């Protein structure tokens, strides 16, 4: 065999080995459906999946009528509005969309045996109850906030509330971008719940969302949330414990959405192969 042919044979063998390796690694990576794939969070989740060692984008679902249905994304995956096809070949879904879409797609996931991670906020009590009901059939993580540091923030708020008690008035404010649909944010409600838990109160009895007019003195023990909207902020939350002559302020400010996406991808990796159930993000992050 001449040098030329030998070199060609070596190159061919090397390419075959690389192709076999990449096929093997594709086969060992779990296939993920991103619901709301072209939304602000969907884009960040897809970016977090790129180059991931255990997960890869397998399907991208968008709302019917979205102008980019059929558009090809990374890995040759095309945006679809065909729910059945989207769930056909995936083992886990990551969904940041709207409550009606999340409930409809979670029902399909339960029928198809697909694990489900969702960060969608703005559910009413009936919606939350249905998520819990569907989680008896497939493993689900539903979190108002996937950021590690916001989870630590909630823990700090719970601990502070337990130590300070209701003599320190608890006030929260949140700021989000102008396009956010639900108010107050899911994270603000979750922080308020953490404060109530720390004080051994029931949040529903104490929550104040509106103040206007002659409101009279502040009822002792209440937990109030004020909502601010504007610009492009991915999210800011401040909790104040206001006493006589002093106060504590705890704040978290997001500069990007990447940490939410990373947390959701981590949850998806953790969830694959688990038994059905509604798992807490604190468990996924090893905080409980």
Residue ranges that bind ligand NAD, judged by CB under 6 A? 35-36, 38-42, 61-63, 66, 96-98, 101, 119-122, 143-146, 186, 257, 260
Q: From the centroid of its chain, how far is CA 188?
A: 15
Task: Report the candidate in 234, 126, 119, 242 with the shortest Cα–Cα distance to residue 180.
Answer: 234
Q: Nearer to ligand NAD by C-beta: 132 or 215?
A: 132
Whether residue 65 contacts residue 46, with contact meaning beta carbons closer than 8 Å, is answered with no
Q: Nearer to ligand NAD by C-beta: 102 or 206?
A: 102
Residue 176 falls in the annotated catalytic set? yes
CB of 183 to ligand NAD, least distance (A): 10
- Which residue of the set 52, 84, 180, 237 is catalytic? 180
Task: Report the candidate in 56, 96, 73, 57 with the shortest Cα–Cα distance to residue 260.
Answer: 96
Q: Nearer to ligand NAD by C-beta: 69 or 162?
A: 69
Partners of 241 in beta bridges: 170, 248
Task: Give the gyration radius of the chain's Cα atoms.
Answer: 23
Q: Nearer to ligand NAD by C-beta: 38 or 160?
A: 38
Whether residue 178 contacts residue 229, with contact meaning beta carbons closer than 8 Å, is answered with yes
CB of 106 to ligand NAD, least distance (A): 11
Residue least distant from ligand NAD (Cβ): 39
First CA to last CA distance, the chain: 65
- Which residue of the set 71, 142, 163, 176 is catalytic? 176
Residue 220 falls in the annotated catalytic set? no
Which sequence positions are flagged as catalytic? 176, 180
């Amino acid at each position: 065999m001449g040098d030329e042919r030998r070199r060609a044979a070596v190159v061919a063998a090397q390419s075959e080995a690389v192709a076999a390796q990449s096929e093997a690694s594709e086969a060992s990576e779990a296939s993920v459906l991103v619901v709301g794939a072209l939304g602000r969070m969907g884009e960040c989740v897809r970016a977090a999946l790129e180059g991931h060692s255990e997960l890869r984008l397998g399907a991208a679902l968008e709302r019917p009528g979205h102008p980019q249905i059929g558009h090809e994304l990374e890995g040759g995956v095309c945006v679809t509005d065909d729910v059945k096809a989207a769930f056909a070949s995936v083992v886990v879904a990551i969904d940041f969309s709207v409550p009606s879409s999340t409930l409809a797609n979670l029902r399909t996931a339960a029928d198809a045996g697909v694990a489900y991670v969702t960060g969608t906020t703005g559910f009413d009590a009936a919606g939350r109850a249905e998520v819990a009901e569907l989680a008896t059939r497939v493993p689900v993580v539903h979190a108002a906030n996937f950021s590690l540091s916001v989870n630590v923030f909630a823990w700090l708020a719970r601990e502070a509330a337990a130590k300070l008690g209701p003599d320190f008035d608890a006030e929260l404010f949140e700021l989000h971008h102008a396009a956010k649909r639900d108010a107050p944010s899911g994270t603000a409600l979750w922080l308020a719940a953490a404060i109530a838990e720390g004080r051994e109160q029931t949040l529903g009895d104490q929550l104040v969302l509106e103040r206007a007019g002659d409101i009279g003195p502040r009822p002792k023990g209440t937990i109030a949330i004020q909502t601010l909207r504007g610009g492009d902020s991915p999210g800011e939350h401040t909790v104040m414990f206001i006493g006589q002559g002093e106060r504590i302020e705890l704040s978290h400010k997001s500069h990007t959405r990447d940490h939410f996406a990373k947390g959701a991808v981590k949850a998806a990796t953790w969830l694959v192969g688990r038994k059905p159930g509604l798992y807490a993000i604190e468990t996924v992050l090893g905080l409980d």
